[in-house]
Amino acid sequence: MKDWLSSTWEANWRSFQYFNLYRLVLAGVFFLTLIFPNEWTSRLNLLPTPARLALNAGYMVAVIAALLLSINWRQRFNFQLSLQVLVDVIVVSMMMFGGGGVSSGLGIVLLVSLAAASLVGRGRLVLFYAALATLAVLISQIFGILYLGFDQASIVQAGLISAGFFATAILARLLGQRAMVNEDLARRRGEALDNQIRISQRVVERMQDGVLIVGPDGMVVRHNPVARAMLGLPGEGGVHLGTQVPTLAAALAVWEDGGGQEDVLFSGFEGSDLRARFERTTSSDREVLIFLEDVGRIKERAQQLKLASLGRLTASIAHEIRNPLSAISHAGELLREERRGEMQERLLRILNDNVIRLDRIVQDVLELGRQSRAQPEMLRLDEFCTAFVEHFVAAENLAADEIGRAHV
């Protein structure tokens, strides 16, 4: 039989402990069967002999030890499971043999033990468990037929029970594999969902717009830090929108009735102008999403875009002006080379002065669009150090004599 999950199988210790609890209950049932009157348990043929009482006591001690071992030493899962299944096969087979073989009906106990072991076991080991039970039942039944006078036809019943061992082990293993596949799929989907929730929460927290989730009763189910700052909401949950922001709650009620707009302007915390946009969700609780935008921030962003566009336009115009200025300056230089009268020289000086003035204005306009550059400046070290010490003493609230002068 192919082991579908041999590469991803993990020992299920909790189910293993439940299996041990079942074995403990089974040991208790055997003990009650032995001490009850024979009229009640006559079909099992289990008389309270010293050997059977000792076998039952040893079985109970072994089950308790195995249970404690599975709780406190979670290692070598297959070894522990195989050892306990072997103990079950030996004890139940001996009980069956003492009760008259398969006719006692105790074979069903082995079926349950094999099914439980196959659910928590791994791979081909479940077939090994079924083979152990089959050998134990067939050997004990053949021995009883040969030496104790068991019914010879009971060997057929033993064979059917043995076939039932293999069928139970295989079917239980297939069911266990299906359960393991579903459990692994649920675990991976749970991890993916948890990761998605974490990412979504981080995205919502980092948004520049406020986000509110409002339930049908007007309670704020969740909000991000930006919405809390915009509306002045407390940090803990359980906030009613109508109590905290009545204007927004009234606009939401009108929108839900179908008579309101999706975008609403209102005043937020500390008089800030806000815009709210409503959107329905497909959740089962019929929650509503409210997106909040700071109108002032939008206007400021628009103003920044306008100033940036104006700066680019100004720089472009300055470049365009510089070209004709260069041509005018060059033409003035050419005119100055020719011999002219005093009036022409005066006009050329006026022309040159205004060209220089316009060029300086264009240069200043272009400098506005550039990043500020470092401008080296000569300083007197003694004056700078004296002013720095005075400023530092005043800023740090120190005594005037706490900083002394170093002598070099």
Q: What is the DSSP string of 334-385?
A: HHHHS---HHHHHHHHHHHHHHHHHHHHHHHHHHHTSPP--------HHHHH
pLDDT tier at 38 (50, 70, 90 boundaries)?
low
pLDDT tier at 146 (50, 70, 90 boundaries)?
confident
Q: Which amino acid is at 72?
A: N
pLDDT tier at 406 (50, 70, 90 boundaries)?
very low
Q: Is the pLDDT of residue 372 over 60?
A: no
**How, if at all, do strands 219-223 and 239-240 pair?**
antiparallel
User: CA torsion 364→369→373→379, rounded to 10°?
Assistant: 40
In the chain, what are the domain boundaries? 13-189, 208-294, 299-368
Helix (H, G, I), strand (E, B) or coil at 211: strand
Q: Is the pLDDT of residue 138 over 60?
A: yes
Q: Which positions ≥6 away from 102 have C-beta within 8 Å?
A: 96, 137, 141, 154, 157, 158, 161
Cβ–Cβ contacts within 10 Å for residue 336, how many?
A: 14
Report pLDDT digits (tens) over 120-130.
776 678 888 88
Q: Which amino acid is at 26?
A: L
pLDDT tier at 1 (50, 70, 90 boundaries)?
very low
The label of the residue with tokens 């082990």 reads 169
Q: What is the pLDDT of residue 339?
A: 58
Task: Compute the Cα dihedral for 191, 2, 78, 20 and give only its sign.
Answer: positive
User: φ and ψ at 38, to 5 degrees?
Assistant: -65, -25
pLDDT tier at 7 (50, 70, 90 boundaries)?
very low
Report pLDDT digits (tens) over 215-232.
888 888 888 888 888 887
Q: Is the pLDDT of residue 112 over 70?
A: yes
Q: What is the pLDDT of residue 8?
A: 40
Vertex 250 angle, CA 244 and 252, to 5°: 100
Vertex 292 angle, CA 289 and 293, to 5°: 145
Topology classification of domain 208-294: Beta-Lactamase (3.30.450)
Would the pTM of this model clear 0.85, i.e. be above it? no
Give percent of the chain above pLDDT 90. Answer: 0
Highest mean pLDDT among 62-76, 277-291, 319-333: 62-76
Q: What is the pLDDT of residue 235?
A: 67
